[in-house]
Amino acid sequence: MAMGRILRQFLPSLSTAFVLLFPLAFSASDSEALLKLKKSLNNAGALDSWVPGSAPCNGPKWSWRGLVCQGGVVTGLSLDGMRLSGTIDVDALAQIPGLLTFSVENNSFTNTIPGFNRLGALKVLSLSRNRFSGEIPSDYFVKMASLKKVRLSYNKFTGKIPDSLAHLSNLVGLHLQYNQFSGRIPSFDTPNLNSLNVSNNRLEGEIPSSLSKFSASSFIGNPGLCGGRIGVKCYSTPNKTSTKIIAGMVTLGVIILLLVIIFFAIRWRKKKQTVSYVTPSGSSKDAVEVLQPKTEGSIKSADPDSNVSSPGKASVAELVMLNDKKGVFGLPDLMKGSAEVLGNGPLGASYYVRLANGVEVVAKSIKQMNALGRDSFDAEVKKLGKLQHPNVLTPLAYHYRKEEKLFVYEYLPKGSLLYYLHGDGGKYGCELDLRTRVKIVRGIAEGLDYLHNQFASRDVPHGNLKLSNVLLGPDNRPLLSDYGYHPFLNVDSLDRLFAYKAPEAIQKQTVSFRTDVYCLGIIILEMITTEHPSQYVNDGNGGTDIVQWVASAFSEGKQTELLDTKIKGCRNSVRCMEKLLRVGALCTKTCPQQRLDIEEAIRLIDEIILELKQFDII
């Protein structure tokens, strides 16, 4: 079949016998195609053996690295673990007529899946362990009927598992684990499929019966799945429309119930005239007001004599749930919980609240957020509520009043990275070693990259990235919070965002994606020097101008003197520390165009992680 294709495409007048006798004729065109492919790859040092004028498939071990040859013809590319990136030139691949297998596992490729579906003869497609992202069109695999093995695991693919994949009649192995595939698993009609892994995605619904022979370990890490052999029963859902109606009715019921509770709670309070909410000492009075809607206005609005059903008035006391990760609660629950002030930032105060059911949350009160009307505000906040990424803390709920907004987040007991690094850092010693710090930096960069993809049309997707807005979850997993506020803030309050400490914001009042990168850079410099940067101090006095300091140290070749001596004493590679410092310096260049972009920053951090792995430090 492959030979037939070769003949049709390249040598329509020659016979098969002739082709087999003169394989080198093909290497010539293969080598051109391969060199074209190499041109499209960044960081192609591993492909140094690919040079013009030599024959790719010569010799017993084939002279060009990463090739599989048969009869002098290139039949496979196996470019795993070569640290490659760039945009793979599929046109070049299409010019290698004998190509049956293509593998680029464990590299640094990004963006959506390239058009490999033009390579109709491929039997193996392996893209695992890269950073490919986005949805794969449902019909992507329609013309790839020869495919036997498809490996897309450990990427960032989203959307549904493409339907066409489920109808590849030759499919033997399918590995999709560790992506962000969502929705239902399509029904497979692949009689030969004997290795399947879709674990650790966001799949939901019933496992189709055609896949019920696979064990639970093929499906783990998808909390929404049921059926098959995973031991989770499916509850029959009548059909989609009635599910929606039921969901709608439940929501309506919850809203009515909340209104009733609020109504009675307020009446009760009015009668008793007592304050059940523990006012935290030193708290800002206005913020507490939000938590305590016992003001004249709200009492009136809920008074039976006035028109309770008026939506404008009812909304005074409303807490809008964005997701139910921590259960559903209302403003009355927040009011009744026990509270403590966590701190006062440039945007407002934060409170820790423990609800009666034990759930712990943080409520942040923010003023000066009237740049958008109510409807646009709601729409934008709902977008924040939909975010899902291991390094992004999604808000749980919000409350809207003209004068003040309240954002409710999950409470993380370890607190912020600021506290961890500067507050108690000394206490942790080697627990906060280079390995941990690099991983934290990597997670922050991943979260930022995700926000940049999700909010690609915004001026500055995060806008407020600093150590105190990075929280630490279990295993020191960093979670970004307090992001995405830029569109909401009144123009005269924008400079409360940390992004406005970047040079371009100070000089020209402009911010961009690269402003977020600047903020990331400050964090990196801070993580590796443990200095407290002056950029954090509001009046500009105190702290070290860390950017200037690092830049001049590099120019004098004294950068190793800046490294935090505490981590120097732990299991370590000073070379890697220095490399990370350089990444920080490249992110904080004064001119935004000279800064790294976030993808490049991630790639460089990954290289450091690889190097640490080689030293067995990670």
Closest to ligand NAG by CB, 213 or 386: 213
Amino acid at 442: R
Residue 610 within binding range of ligand NAG, rule CB under 6 A: yes
| Options 83, 354, 422, 532; binder of ligand NAG; rule CB under 6 A | 83
Closest to ligand NAG by CB, 196 or 562: 196
Total residues contacting ligand NAG (rule CB under 6 A)?
10
Closest to ligand NAG by CB, 106 or 590: 106
In whole angstroms, give the CA distance from residue 382 to residue 368: 19
Percent of the chain as helix, strand, coil, to the nearest 5: 40, 15, 40
Ranges of beta strands (E only) in 55-186 are 67-70, 73-78, 85-86, 101-103, 110-111, 124-126, 131-135, 149-151, 156-159, 173-175, 180-183
Q: Are 119 and 95 in contact (CB under 8 A)?
A: no
Closest to ligand NAG by CB, 70 or 192: 192
In whole angstroms, give the CA distance from residue 485 to residue 384: 10
Residue 106 within binding range of ligand NAG, rule CB under 6 A: yes
User: Among 514, 527, 518, 511, which residue's Cα sits nearest to residue 478?
Assistant: 527
Residue 7 within binding range of ligand NAG, rule CB under 6 A: no
**Shortest approach of ligand NAG to residue 164 CB, angstroms?**
23
Q: Is the dihedral of CA 452, 454, 458, 460 positive or negative?
A: negative
Residue 108 within binding range of ligand NAG, rule CB under 6 A: no
**Nearest residue to the partner ligand NAG, using Cβ:** 81
Contacts of 461 (CB under 8 A, 6+ apart): 448, 451, 452, 454, 455, 483, 484, 513, 516
| Interactions with ligand NAG, residue window 137-196 (CB under 6 A) | 177
Tokens at 1, concatenated: 């079949």
Closest to ligand NAG by CB, 179 or 218: 218
**Shortest approach of ligand NAG to residue 156 CB, angstroms?**
16
Which long-range contacts link 553-557 to residues 24+ away (Cβ below 8 Å)? 554/582, 554/585
| Interactions with ligand NAG, residue window 256-275 (CB under 6 A) | none
Residue 284 within binding range of ligand NAG, rule CB under 6 A: no
Closest to ligand NAG by CB, 200 or 530: 200
Residue 202 within binding range of ligand NAG, rule CB under 6 A: no
Q: Is the dihedral of CA 607, 610, 614, 618 positive or negative?
A: positive
Distance (Å) of CA 580 to CA 129, 439, 450, 489, 527? 22, 11, 21, 34, 9
Closest to ligand NAG by CB, 494 or 609: 609
**Shortest approach of ligand NAG to residue 155 CB, angstroms?**
13
Closest to ligand NAG by CB, 5 or 83: 83
**Shortest approach of ligand NAG to residue 210 CB, angstroms?**
16
**Shortest approach of ligand NAG to residue 106 CB, angstroms?**
4
In whole angstroms, give the CA distance from residue 115 to residue 91: 9
Q: Spell out a b/e string for 449-460, using b for 16 or more CB atoms within 10 Å of the CB, else e.
A: bbbbbbbeebeb
Closest to ligand NAG by CB, 198 or 480: 198
| Options 197, 301, 454, 559; binder of ligand NAG; rule CB under 6 A | 197
| Options 190, 199, 283, 468; binder of ligand NAG; rule CB under 6 A | 199
**Shortest approach of ligand NAG to residue 612 CB, angstroms?**
11
Note the residues at the interface with ligand NAG (CB under 6 A): 81, 83, 106, 177, 197, 199-200, 217-218, 610
